[in-house]
């Protein structure tokens, strides 16, 4: 058996040549390509393996193109409300093909940028499917069935995740969509069901509703955006409901009967009543599952739990020299978390002094719907469940001058503090531009800023950020405009 293995190894070497690197990265999404760049910056000879497009799902079929679509929806919504700003504008319309094409062009432009970064940093790119042949060896199968064998003492897997399906419901790309089909529609459906009310589901619900589709959302849990603070979740549902989106929370999909042009969906609502409705299209947005199959990980002894790779605080797996980052590991499953892990992992490998492990409670969460939602840290419920004594501050944007000036008063900022130490435990926001504003709280939390320091900070006037200050003041009974 050993002789056979040796012959196979010699055949591979003869076919494509075994190549030596300091680090091989499998997967070129926001975790993988950042890992490759940082490694190259630190003087490591680096290779990256990607089976499709550099930038991964996030850049090509996720984060970036969906935000482009949502920006088009935002501009269109502003045009429809032009009279509220004293502007005369009639005949607002849209070209769906151009809206979609713009998002594809944005993705292509940024993908080209990543390709340029690989060349600039002298990262060698291998296009194909990579798998762990043995610790220290990655074999890449290319589209023409040729193979490359890459050797490195350190191998990082960053292969991300794929959309989940639910029992009895499979995406067909025609009537039942995943996110990929949902962001490249050829025509707008008259009616749409979104199954799943997490960030992805809510973003698509917001986009399609803006352009006139009748949207229904079904969520198995008792609230939409279930990872968010209860006050923010409730505010989001109220706001989206006012825009005409129908919600069924605490509901369970029982069956989906698909025809050539529509789907009849049966579900049980929160009261136990059976319901049925026909929809032109259905989007499955029930979460994602880690991409761990076909990588040789289990075969080489890498430990998995619930389908995800088990890693330590430095992203090391149970096999020496093999690492995993991003969505194939534990939550939060976010692009910026993957990128940060990439830097931590590579710098630890390189022996950079002062590297700190990632604190999941300092990773911001953002939903780019209209209105936007953003948060960091513990919700009020989580803090109380941990037995902490908390102080909670809230500020409604209706009390904010800038919100009135820009005509967007529907929103809330909520802060949660430890009553004993003054530590900022969590911050939760809904309203205009909050996905940009949240970083202020993220920085404060990372610097272990106290409540007094936040209260003593001068916030520019008039700005939306003043609501952040007022929420902190409110937690300590000092709010001025509440």
Strand 288-290, strand 304-305: pairing: unpaired
In angstroms, rounded to a whole number, what is the distance separating the alpha carbons of residues 76 and 117? 34
In angstroms, rounded to a whole number, what is the distance separating the alpha carbons of residues 396 and 409? 8
104: Cβ contacts below 8 Å, ≥ 6 apart: 65, 184
Alpha-carbon separation of residue 459 from 163, 301, 376, 402, 455 (angstroms): 41, 53, 20, 13, 10
Answer yes or no: are the C-beta atoms of 67 and 59 closer than 8 Å.
no
Alpha-carbon separation of residue 419 from 383, 423, 474 (angstroms): 11, 8, 13
In angstroms, rounded to a whole number, what is the distance separating the alpha carbons of residues 202 and 205? 5
- Which positions are annotated as active-site residues? 461
In angstroms, rounded to a whole number, what is the distance separating the alpha carbons of residues 249 and 222? 5
In angstroms, rounded to a whole number, what is the distance separating the alpha carbons of residues 146 and 53? 19
Q: Closest Cα to residue 75, out of 101, 93, 97, 91?
A: 93
């Amino acid at each position: 058996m050993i002789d056979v293995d040796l012959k196979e190894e010699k055949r591979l070497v003869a076919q494509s040549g075994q190549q030596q690197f300091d680090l091989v990265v499998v997967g070129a999404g926001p975790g993988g390509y950042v890992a490759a760049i940082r490694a190259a910056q630190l003087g490591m000879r680096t290779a990256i393996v990607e089976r499709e497009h550099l930038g991964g799902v996030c850049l090509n079929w996720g984060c970036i193109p969906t935000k482009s679509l949502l920006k088009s929806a935002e501009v269109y919504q502003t045009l429809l409300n032009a009279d509220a700003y004293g502007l005369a504008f009639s005949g607002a319309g849209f070209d769906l093909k151009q809206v979609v094409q713009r998002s594809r062009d944005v993705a292509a432009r940024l993908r080209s940028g990543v390709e340029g970064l690989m060349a600039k940093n002298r990262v060698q790119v291998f296009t194909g499917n990579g798998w762990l042949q043995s610790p220290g060896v990655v074999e890449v199968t290319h589209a023409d069935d040729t193979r490359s064998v890459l050797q490195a003492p350190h191998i990082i897997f960053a292969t991300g995740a794929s959309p989940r399906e639910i029992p009895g419901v499979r995406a067909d790309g025609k009537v039942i969509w995943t996110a990929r089909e949902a962001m490249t529609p050829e025509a707008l459906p008259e009616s749409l069901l979104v199954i799943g009310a997490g960030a992805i589901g809510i973003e698509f619900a917001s986009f399609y509703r803006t352009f006139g589709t009748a949207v229904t959302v079904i969520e198995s849990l008792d609230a939409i955006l279930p990872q968010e603070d209860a006050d923010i979740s409730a505010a989001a549902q109220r706001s989206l409901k006012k825009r005409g989106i129908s919600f069924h929370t605490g509901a369970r999909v029982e069956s989906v009967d698909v025809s050539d042009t529509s789907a009849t969906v049966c579900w049980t609502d929160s009261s136990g009543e059976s319901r049925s409705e026909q929809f032109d299209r259905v989007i499955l947005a029930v979460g994602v599952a880690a991409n761990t199959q076909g990588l040789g990980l289990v075969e080489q002894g890498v430990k998995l739990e619930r389908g995800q790779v088990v890693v330590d605080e430095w992203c090391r797996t149970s096999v020496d020299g093999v690492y995993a980052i991003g969505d194939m590991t534990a939550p939060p499953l976010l692009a910026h978390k993957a990128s940060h892990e990439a830097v931590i992992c590579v710098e630890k490998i390189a022996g950079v002094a002062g590297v700190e492990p990632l604190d999941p409670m300092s990773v911001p969460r953002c939903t780019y719907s209209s209105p936007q939602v953003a948060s960091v840290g513990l919700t009020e419920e989580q803090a109380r469940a941990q037995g902490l004594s908390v102080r909670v501050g809230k500020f409604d944007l209706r009390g904010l001058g800038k919100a009135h000036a820009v005509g967007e008063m529907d929103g809330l900022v909520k802060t949660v503090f430890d009553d004993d130490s003054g530590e900022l435990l969590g911050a939760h926001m809904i309203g205009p531009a909050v996905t940009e504003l949240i970083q202020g709280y993220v920085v404060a939390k990372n610097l272990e800023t106290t409540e007094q320091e936040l209260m003593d900070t001068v916030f520019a006037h008039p700005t939306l950020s003043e609501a952040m200050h007022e929420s902190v003041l409110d937690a300590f009974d000092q709010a001025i405009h509440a």
